[in-house]
């Protein structure tokens, strides 16, 4: 399926009619924040995996509480950052 300029313009006009011109900037802003959160979480997960792989297998004799980390919605946005406690594994082997 090949979309040309007339089809894209028609789709944009329909979106503006459905959602209204006033709501579109807010929707785009919230979509951008969501994308930044997703990107930062994916990056944090990758760095956590790299740290775990470099550290080697954990010792089973010691119980070390996980460190608390802060998740930020956007760089420099301190109003939406909050400390997050990592879930702990309560099952015993």
**What pLDDT, on a 0 to 100 scale, did the predictor assign at position 25?**
84
Average pLDDT, integer, range 71-92: 61
**What pLDDT, on a 0 to 100 scale, did the predictor assign at position 20?**
81
- Residues 41 and 72: their CA atoms lie apart, in Å, by 9
Residue 61 scores a pLDDT above 60: no
pTM of this structure = 0.39
Residue 81 scores a pLDDT above 60: no
**What pLDDT, on a 0 to 100 scale, did the predictor assign at position 33?**
94
Tell which residue, 2, 29, 24, has the closest CA to residue 13.
Answer: 24
Pair 59, 47: CB distance under 8 Å: no
Q: How confident is the model at residue 21 (pLDDT cuts 50, 70, 90)?
A: confident
Average pLDDT, integer, range 60-78: 61
């Amino acid at each position: 399926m090949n979309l040309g300029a007339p089809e894209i313009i028609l789709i944009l006009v329909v979106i503006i009619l459905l959602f209204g011109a006033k709501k579109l900037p807010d929707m785009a802003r919230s979509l951008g924040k969501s994308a930044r959160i997703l990107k930062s979480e994916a990056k944090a997960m990758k760095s956590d995996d790299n740290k775990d792989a470099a550290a080697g297998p954990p010792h089973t004799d010691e119980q070390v509480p996980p460190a608390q980390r802060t998740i930020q919605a956007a760089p420099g946005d301190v109003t939406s950052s909050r400390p997050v406690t990592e879930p702990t594994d309560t099952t015993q082997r």
